[in-house]
Structure 1
Amino acid sequence: MSFLDITGRKFIVFGLANKKSVACAIARTLVAEGAEVIHVVRSEERRTTATKLFPDCPVFLCDVEEEENIVRVRDEIAGYLKNQGGAKIDGIVHSIAFANYSEGLKPFHSTLKKDFLQAVDISCFSFISIANHFKDLLSQDASMVTISISTTRMAAENYGYMAPIKAALDSSCCFLAKSFSAFSHIRFNAVAPGLLKTSASAGIPGYVDSYLFAEKAILRKAALTTREAADTAVFLLSPRASGINAQTIVVDAGMAINYFDKEIIKGAVG
């Protein structure tokens, strides 16, 4: 038995987009540890991608912006599990976020209501909704993990309105953990990575410069990898993390303590 003790356990991963996504890295580690992975993706195009990357894993479709889709995919997965003898799900990964920057980056105070509410719906409420609708498919000691950001208190202008939404996501872990404790030992946690090189991040205006700065601020002077964030998520999914609940685990390789690095100061003040 491996240390993580997830061999043969079943996990659902929401949000795989491509081979660079955090969801893909999490699924790779789960499969490598002998777990069974069920993918849920947003579109047919992503289903094709997921099938190519994980040919032995079932893939279902769900655009979480419409709650009825979450109910539908829950029923489809329930049917799949029934055909496998009624097995339960041991964990769910929520790696979903969306922000509409189609009109360009605006000052935070100029955020459009429709954009903010859509981002809350997709990036935060979907986690709550998935927990609610999938609760009867989960084992009594299952784990739900979402992907946040390393800090929601750093007002990065190019991240727009997403930090307040991630703050709501972090808080939702606490309230879900409390709510579910009335009838289960199901845990809710968030992995909060520093800046990662993913296709989703590439769509954030000015992200490359921020990424390069983060690399200088990290203690080891090397960027955080997607796998490092993913491995933390897999640990939280495993029984080895049974004592961790309602937490946001920062994975930033020490970046947050190093903003006064002498090299950064020298470059800023000359």
Structure 2
Amino acid sequence: MGTDFLKLTGKRVVVAGVANKRSVGFHVARGLVEAGCEPIYIVRTDARRDELIAKLPRLAGTDAPAVYVLDVEDEAAIGPVCARIGAEHGPLAGLVHSIAFANYENGMVPFHETGRADFLQAVQISAFSLVELSRALKPHFEDDASVVTISISTTRMASENYGYMAPVKAALDSSIAFLAKSFSADSRVRFNAVRAGLLKTSSSAGIPGYLDSYLFAEMSILRKAALETREVADTALFLLSPRSSGINGQGLVVDAGMELNYFDKSIVAGATRPS
């Protein structure tokens, strides 16, 4: 087997949402570099850009990373930033959308008490930004480019400490099918989601009560070891590559078998016969 198995050598992919070295976006970017592909970074703030420029050469092996600042809440900025990326780095082989936000400043509340402003902000940042970025980058995509977003393993489980983000991620998941369909009218650009199980990231650390759920997930996983961010990133790399050309409009669950094992006898015993 050749060294360029993913067939990404010499290509360029936009990675939106690199927070730090623990984030999915960072692990995807590092995998792209290892595959001979150049990541083009989108971050939310100038401070994040400066931090990445300082750290990425050491962490990801890149000499002069291209980092663009774009707050996706600023609708007027999306078009110009994407046009600049396309002009300076196109054609683009793909986009990784690893952007999500929910306002938990006031703690977790029952879902029916979710505020309108908080919910709509989360939808805009976490779901509709995929539509906006894809639309703005469309003229700069290669004809067979691949777009991959990072979602969650299930939106049908009413996890109390995830709050309103599960319905928001459901909107993101549904958008995949509609984007795949609408882009198919004049291109072969593909859209897929990596539906990840619970991960230990900086963003998840801000969710009230997340740690307990993370530990329970580790107990539920068949191998009794937590899902690694790298494993989610590796799936995204596969979906970005031409090796996955037959996959479109799908969500691939990456949870190390967690959803199969909620009735593991040790978990059931712990819940029904506590010591």
Tell me whether 1:110 sits opposite 2:104 in the alignment.
no
Aligned residues: 265
CA displacement 1:184-228 (0-9 Å, x = unmatched): 000000001100000000000100000000000000000000000
Tell me whether 1:173 sits opposite 2:181 in the alignment.
no
Aligned partners of 2:44 and 2:69 also within 8 Å: yes
**What are the within-5 Å matches in structure 2 for residues 239-254 of structure 1?**
239-254=242-257
Q: Give the CA deviation at 1:75.
A: 2.1
TM-score (norm 2): 0.95
Tell me whether 1:235 sits opposite 2:238 in the alignment.
yes
Aligned partners of 2:13 and 2:37 also within 8 Å: yes
Cross-structure match for 1:9: 11
Q: For structure 1, list consecutive stretches of 5 or more residues without a partner in the other structure.
A: 82-86
Tell me whether 1:64 sits opposite 2:72 in the alignment.
yes
**Matched residue of 1:54: which SS?**
helix
In structure 2, give the amino acid aligned to 1:140: D
Cross-structure match for 1:126: 129
Query: Aligned partners of 1:214, 1:186: CA distance in 2, in Å?
Result: 34
Aligned partners of 2:83 and 2:136 also within 8 Å: no
- TM superposition outliers: structure 1 runs of 4+ over 2 Å: 52-56
TM-score (norm 1): 0.97
Aligned partners of 2:86 and 2:137 also within 8 Å: no
Q: Give the CA deviation at 1:78.
A: 2.6
Aligned partners of 1:39 and 1:50 also within 8 Å: no
**Matched residue of 1:243: which SS?**
coil
Moved more, 70-79 or 179-188: 70-79
Q: Give the CA deviation at 1:48.
A: 1.8
Identity %: 60
Query: Aligned partners of 1:7, 1:225: CA distance in 2, in Å?
Result: 25
Cα RMSD (Å) of the superposition? 0.8
Tell me whether 1:208 sits opposite 2:216 in the alignment.
no
Aligned partners of 1:17 and 1:49 also within 8 Å: no
Query: Aligned partners of 2:94, 2:255: CA distance in 1, in Å?
Result: 24
Q: Give the CA deviation at 1:54.
A: 2.3
Aligned partners of 1:220 and 1:253 also within 8 Å: yes
1:264 to 243, 247, 267: 267
Tell me whether 1:141 sits opposite 2:154 in the alignment.
no
Query: Aligned partners of 1:249, 1:49: CA distance in 2, in Å?
Result: 32
Aligned partners of 1:22 and 1:226 also within 8 Å: yes
Q: Give the CA deviation at 1:66.
A: 1.4
Q: For structure 2, list consecutive stretches of 5 or more residues without a partner in the other structure.
A: 58-63
Q: Give the CA deviation at 1:20.
A: 0.6
Query: Aligned partners of 1:255, 1:79: CA distance in 2, in Å?
Result: 43
